[in-house]
Amino acid sequence: GENVEQHPSTLSVQEGDSAVIKCTYSDSASNYFPWYKQELGKRPQLIIDIRSNVGEKKDQRIAVTLNKTAKHFSLHITETQPEDSAVYFCAASITGNQFYFGTGTSLTVIP
Amino acid sequence: EADIYQTPRYLVIGTGKKITLECSQTMGHDKMYWYQQDPGMELHLIHYSYGVNSTEKGDLSSESTVSRIRTEHFPLTLESARPSHTSQYLCASRRVGEQYFGPGTRLTVT
């Protein structure tokens, strides 16, 4: 089955700086890559996703890039704010039937 | 309001008991999922369903069962609870695109 690795496991940045989280996947058939944000004690919520026919997608301060050849994708958060502090999970899916999640990155934005 | 609901939200139960965790969604989604997640850790797929009368096993399915008799309802049953089952259980649903997660059931087995 698919194996998704996520790095780093923890990340601290100063408010206003950028944060980058990277994930790799093993199955070249994976074609849908969502990113979830999970605040303490709350449910995961989708923040951005990308499909395999697209190399980059942006939504305000958040962007995701995908390199199909290298089988890796990254989350970029610019101008970080304290409310960005949370655990972020990447995931990979083949046709949306099964989702394989990364191990999570705990992001702390220091005011 | 369209949403995904889970009950109970918290459950403390003794070893050996049979328990059913409920999940319902009002969005008409055909695909539904159960995940196990320890606090702040990765999500592990337990079971999923493509639609009514369809269920598939995930990586952690061996000690639980699910059923999908109605589109909106996807209960998870542990036949004999063990302390190793102590965790948070998240239900999710989707049609196309993103998964919507329920609020979770935090289970403690003593």
Return the closest-CA partner of residue A14 out of A82, A87, A105. A82
For residue A97, which amino acid is it? N
Strands (E), A1-111: 4-7, 10-14, 19-25, 32-38, 45-51, 56-59, 62-67, 72-77, 86-94, 98-101, 105-110
Residues 6+ positions from A69 with CB-CB distance below 8 Å: none
Return the closest-CA partner of residue B15 out of B60, B101, B81. B81
- Does the beta-carbon distance from B101 to A101 stay under 8 Å? no
Q: Which of A45, A99, A103 sits opposite B45 (nearest CB)?
A: A99
Residues of A in contact with B43 (CB under 8 A): 44, 89, 99, 101
The answer, yes or no, to whether residue B96 has pLDDT greater than 90, is no
Which positions in chain A have a beta carbon within 8 angstroms of at least one beta carbon in chain B?
1, 34, 38, 42-46, 49, 87, 89, 96-104, 106
The one-character DSSP state at B1 is -
- Does the beta-carbon distance from A89 to B43 stay under 8 Å? yes
Q: What is the helix (H) or strand (E) element at residue B48, kind and residue range? A: strand B44-51
For residue B1, the model assigns a pLDDT of 65
Confidence of residue B31 (pLDDT cuts 50, 70, 90): very high
Tens of each residue's pLDDT in chain A, 111 residues: 789 999 999 999 999 999 999 999 999 999 999 999 999 989 999 999 999 888 999 999 999 999 999 999 999 999 999 999 999 999 999 877 789 999 999 999 999
